Structure 1
């Protein structure tokens, strides 16, 4: 540590140019320290180190248009499906004004369709948070399509009365038409009937003019099931049929909250299920490869998730760096998106449904 006198004599011996240089270096050090401190406050919304290394290279690529985005704004859920690949690892939900800001950024970048998912999207504030976002996207942002994926257990008719007019599509997850199978999978809450909820929601969709859709994950416990009669009876506009997918850190691996390995089926088993149901015209198959490459997924921090390596590698948040910078790390394959039928008639105004 120099004494005050020593510092004085050193400064006296320095030229004016050296003094200016020293002052500038000190100012730079102070600014860098402040920037570093501010960046730490945003650490929960950052991606991994690979994001920074690839940033400049990625930004030279052509811009991707986020025409259809899946926003998993909450990880909380009242079900415990054994193959869930977006588990309750946090309880974080953005303040609604921040969520709206992010949605507006997406709209300005070309988003036409938003799909709200979870977790269970109706669980946060009993569906009010979700309802306000749905209304904002349709009324303020004027998006052609607003949709939701839900397990159906927490949907209430009063929600339809208040927000149904702003919703284009409601997809209900249903993996089996056998209650015991649903219990085995974990798509249940206590002794409540998942299938009774499914039927009620189907009727509300018809009454409040919301297009009804069904999502099914095909796994070891339902792969032999014949669902043709029930799907025909429910008459969804689309029946999404997914192959059970492993995601490291979510439903597989040391840090996961699920052990989905026992649910995994082979490509051959998946194809046999598809062939058995080939007479269902609304069936839309989703193999593992299609799912990994062709979805734009935002997590609860509004970070794009790249699933190509069998895990979820996050970008930085669009709230911090903007959509075009973050989307470069999404792993999104637009050709695969179009090939799997990701672009379809997704506005209920254009579906010409007979309610």
Structure 2
């Protein structure tokens, strides 16, 4: 009996050693895999290695921002996703990527640009919105637009599939909008904003406003207009500089003249503190707390103040690509990235 007990203890010890060695081998393998410098074929962009410990923990792509186009009809001076290419994925390839994201845990998809309504006069983004809501059953589908190209006919065709439409508006003064570059020709950006607001109410789409606070609008008082428009959320951003996009030798924009201090941003927030729908986002909160996909469906890592792309999720899958996203999941939750984002749950009075 004593012999049998000794043998059992010996077997247990051997199993522990085996499992310990196996664990070490797995970690070493992961370190090798994620230390490999992968070149994104055809685009000449490099994926830089991350630490193995980070690679082991895979973030869930709960909320994803897909910038499927870089083209825009506006020329905002602080834009940090500029028209470096005119590439847009074929719609079926985009759908394939969206399905991969859903299978990996995506609950919210936001389509952005560039200007999303430029491609196929809005039909491209409309098809993706319908696919995400109807086929993939994604709880929240949203779009960020400047509002200048949206038509009533788009809402009639695709409005039922859209949860939230966010319109970018940095000022309610047309001269200020011109200084910023948020304008085209003689069109009134503010008039378009109010028009789109009325369509959102008519077609039961939750209405949101995004504003970038910068040197040209930091003294503005927007309380009256925001209360009148009554968005479900008013996202207020501090102007952010990204190397290669709106700063540096290769940049298409020069945002240095738009940058404000943390105190100036806080002063603007203090002036509007009574607006209950206001959601502030400083540079610190914004930089690493978004999962951003570019036009090739590559995650963009902004931790070094620039956009370093992963390989495309279409080539290596979501789980592998997201390791190179630089995504700060804790900051995402801290800034209120998870909220009631399906219009079915908002109980809005249309």
Q: With the length of structure 1 as denominator, give the TM-score of the two structures.
A: 0.86
Partner of 1:117: 112
Could you tell me which of 80, 100, 103 is aligned with 2:95?
A: 100
| 1:206 maps onto 2:201 in alignment | yes
Check if 1:224 corresponds to 2:219.
yes
| Per-residue deviation, 1:316 | 0.6
**For the residues of structure 2 that align with 1:69 and 1:135, how far apart are their CA atoms?**
17
8 Å CA contact 2:39, 2:45 repeated in 1:
no
Paired residue secondary structure (2:142): strand
Alignment of 1:153-192 (within 5 A): 153-192=148-187
Per-residue deviation at 1:49? Answer: 4.8
Establish whether residue 263 from structure 1 lines up as the match of residue 258 from structure 2.
Answer: yes
Aligned equivalent of 1:8? none
CA distance in structure 2 between the partners assigned to 1:258 and 1:193 by the alignment? 23
Q: Is the 8 A contact 1:217 1:244 kept in 2?
A: yes
User: Does the 8 Å contact 1:59/1:325 carry over to 2?
Assistant: no
**Conservation of the 8 A alpha-carbon contact between 1:293 and 1:307:** yes
Partner of 2:246: 251
In structure 2, the partner of 1:66 is 61
How far apart, CA to CA, are the structure 1 residues paired with 2:202 and 2:230?
14
Q: Is the 8 A contact 2:129 2:158 kept in 1?
A: yes
- How far apart are the structure 2 equivalents of 1:95 and 1:231? 38
Structure 2 unaligned blocks of 5 or more: 1-37
**Within the alignment, does 1:300 sit opposite 2:298 as a pair?**
no
Q: Distance in 2 between the 1:290 and 1:48 partners?
A: 26
Deviation at 1:139, TM superposition (A): 0.1
Select the structure of larger CA radius of gyration. 1
Unaligned runs of 5+ in 1: 1-38
1:57 Cα deviation after fit? 2.3
CA distance in 2, matches of 1:130, 1:83: 24
TM-score by length of 2: 0.88
Distance 1:137 1:60 in 2: 29
CA offset at residue 58 of structure 1?
6.2
Report if aligned partners of 2:140, 2:342 keep a CA contact under 8 Å in 1.
Answer: yes
